[in-house]
């Protein structure tokens, strides 16, 4: 029998050539070429292909046609949203994951991948100073990790009330109250709406000027709530990088008769690895569940997230790993790690492999150096911008991100000027910040997460921001003068 596995060689070689060319272009590449969807459809869409084509030629054509629509978010000056780069070993490992093409829900379907992910999970718990033996599942990102965490929380809280969700469903179940800060990320609310907990069940707790949950306010709320209660806190607020006071929050949760504490650590959880930053996460080991993203500060290629649950029994019960078809009984009876016990995916790629490669290639010292560098660069940029008249840094910069506003006029004037500065920078393409909101204000959000960002990138980017500010300020003042003349 003749097999044609050599047919992979040519398209893979083309992919390698194009991939290296793209990656090496990132330092000088315009971040956003801003093509329209119609322009992209003209080159990428069309009628359904009816006949085979040479795979290598397909790769060449596809690379050529997608180029203008790629955002250079893996480069050193992409500061928008919360998107990191990719460690070299992790990207290379991810290619191997595709080549190996293993399905990893069960040990028997890929013993090597099971042990790699098991090891990566143990190293991650140790790196972050969490409770030894905590369960770790590898997800598509923080949204899926949140979803997994909140399913676990919901089922556990109701089980304590004598209600088995797996057997009885949610109809007639005791009502779960949810307590969050007024700055909680939208992914929490999205997950709640997906698991049968309505937004009407949410109680919001106010935050301080740095967007940090006020513990005294939480204490008052918790004293008034009875029954199963889910409390959600943050490690790394999207707009300020702030960390909620976990020790004080945990005190409130533990004083309640039936409460679960979840922390959204999508951005900031990794700070726990650094001696310089881990004070920000004091008490994190006391929480019941945590979500985080690998493709943010930890620089994993997409997609990679993690869910961490302190008591492994709660997540394995919630995920229903024992409710499998008879054909899987032998697989589930094995005493080894079955990844399906730690997440909702019944089929997935081995997302833990790039994590394993990062630990092996960087070690704790290299990971910590990356984390500390990002925070130091964010503080440097914020300090330089704050020294410019008319530029306001809205938060205390405690980590890798900050929000800024431009101008000295009223709120609407500052909001418009800030939006114009950000849009000018995006169109110029040297750096890429994003807009956001800070308690109702339109802001420029700077998020430094990439392992490739250095001090030169930050200094030059800062100057570009100042130039864009002065340019848009002059334009707005000129427009204002023209309006006054017309009047």
- The residues pairing with 264 across neighbouring beta strands, listed in sequence order, are 234, 291
Domain limits, the chain? 10-72, 91-358, 364-486
Nearest CA to 347 out of 370, 328, 368, 326 is that of 328
What is the Cα–Cα distance from 487 to 467, expressed in whole angstroms? 31
| 327, pLDDT greater than 50 | no
Q: What is the pLDDT of residues 75-92, one digit of tens each?
A: 999 999 999 999 999 999
pLDDT at 445: 98
For the segment 44-59, what is each residue's pLDDT rounded down to a tens digit?
Answer: 999 999 999 999 999 9
Using CA atoms, how far residue 395 sits from 95, 156, 218, in Å, is 39, 37, 22
Cα–Cα distance for residue pair 15/11, rounded to 1 Å? 6
Give pLDDT, residue 332.
Answer: 56
Is 70 buried (19+), middle (13-18) or exposed (0-12) by CB count in 10 A? middle
Q: What is the pLDDT of residue 479?
A: 78
CA torsion 359-364-365-368 (nearest 10°) is 100
Q: What residue spans of 322-387 are helical by DSSP H? A: 329-333, 352-386
Three-class secondary structure assignment of 109-125:
HCHHHHHHHHHHHHHHH
- Asked whether 397 and 462 are in contact (CB, 8 A), the reply is no
Instruction: Show the tokens assigned to 450.
Output: 């990439």
Q: Is the pLDDT of residue 39 over 60?
A: yes
pTM of the model: 0.95
Inter-residue contact 400 to 375 (CB < 8 Å)? yes
Q: How far apart are CA 71 and CA 464, in angstroms?
A: 19
Assess whether pLDDT exceeds 70 at residue 285: yes
Residue-wise pLDDT for 348-403, tens only, equals 999 999 999 999 999 999 999 999 999 999 999 999 999 999 999 999 999 999 99
Question: CATH for 91-358?
Answer: 3.40.640.10
pLDDT band at 329 (very low <50, low <70, confident <90, very high): low
Rounded mean pLDDT of 337-355? 94
* Percentage of the chain modeled with pLDDT above 70: 95
Question: Which residue, chain included where needed, has tokens 């399913």?
Answer: 151
Does the domain spanning 364-486 belong to CATH 3.90.1150.170?
Answer: yes
3-state secondary structure of 213: strand
pLDDT at 324: 61
Angle at 67 between CA 62 and CA 68, to 5 degrees: 130
Q: Is 113's pLDDT higher than 90?
A: yes
9-33 pLDDT, tens digit each: 999 999 999 999 999 999 999 999 9
């Amino acid at each position: 029998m003749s097999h044609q596995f050599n047919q992979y060689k040519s398209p893979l070689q083309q992919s390698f050539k194009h991939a290296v060319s793209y990656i090496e272009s990132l330092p000088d590449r315009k971040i956003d070429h801003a093509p329209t969807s119609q322009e992209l459809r003209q080159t990428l869409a069309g009628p359904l292909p009816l006949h085979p084509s040479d795979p290598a030629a397909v790769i060449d054509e596809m690379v050529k046609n997608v180029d203008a629509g790629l955002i250079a978010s893996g480069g050193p000056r992409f500061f928008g949203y919360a998107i990191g780069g990719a460690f070299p070993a992790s990207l290379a490992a991810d290619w191997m994951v595709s080549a190996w093409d293993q399905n990893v829900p069960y040990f028997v379907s890929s013993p090597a991948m099971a042990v790699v992910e098991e090891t990566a999970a143990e190293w991650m718990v140790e790196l972050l100073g969490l409770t030894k033996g905590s369960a770790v599942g590898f997800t598509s990102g923080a949204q899926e990790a949140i979803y997994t965490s909140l399913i676990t929380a919901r089922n556990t809280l109701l089980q304590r009330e004598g209600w088995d969700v797996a057997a009885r469903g949610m109809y007639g179940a005791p009502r779960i109250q949810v307590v969050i800060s007024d700055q909680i990320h939208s992914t929490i609310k999205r997950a709640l709406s997906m698991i049968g907990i309505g937004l009407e069940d949410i109680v919001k707790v106010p935050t301080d000027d740095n967007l940090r949950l006020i513990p005294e306010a939480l204490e008052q709320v918790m004293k008034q709530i009875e029954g199963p209660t889910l409390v959600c806190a943050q490690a790394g607020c999207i707009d300020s990088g702030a960390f909620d006071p976990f020790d004080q929050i945990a005190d409130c949760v533990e004083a309640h008769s039936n409460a679960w504490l979840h922390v959204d650590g999508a951005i900031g959880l990794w700070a726990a690895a650094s001696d310089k930053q881990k004070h920000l996460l004091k008490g994190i080991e006391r929480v019941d569940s945590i979500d985080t993203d690998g493709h943010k500060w930890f620089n994993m290629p997409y997609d990679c997230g993690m869910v961490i649950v302190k008591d492994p029994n709660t997540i394995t019960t919630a995920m229903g790993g024992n409710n499998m078809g008879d054909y899987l009984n032998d697989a589930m009876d094995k005493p080894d790690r079955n990844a399906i016990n730690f997440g909702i995916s019944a089929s997935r790629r081995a997302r833990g492999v790039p994590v394993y490669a990062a630990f092996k290639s960087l070690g704790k010292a290299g990971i910590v150096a990356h984390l500390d560098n990002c925070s130091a660069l964010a503080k440097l940029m914020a300090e330089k911008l704050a020294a410019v008249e008319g530029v306001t840094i809205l938060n205390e910069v405690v980590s890798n991100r900050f929000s800024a506003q431009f101008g000295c006029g009223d709120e609407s004037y500052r909001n418009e000027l800030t939006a114009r500065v950000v849009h000018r920078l995006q169109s110029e393409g040297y750096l890429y910040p994003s807009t956001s909101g800070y308690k109702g204000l339109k802001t420029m959000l700077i998020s430094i997460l990439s392992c490739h960002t250095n001090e030169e990138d930050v200094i030059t980017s800062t100057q570009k921001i100042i130039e864009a500010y002065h340019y848009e300020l002059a334009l707005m003042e000129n427009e204002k003068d023209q309006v006054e003349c017309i009047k």
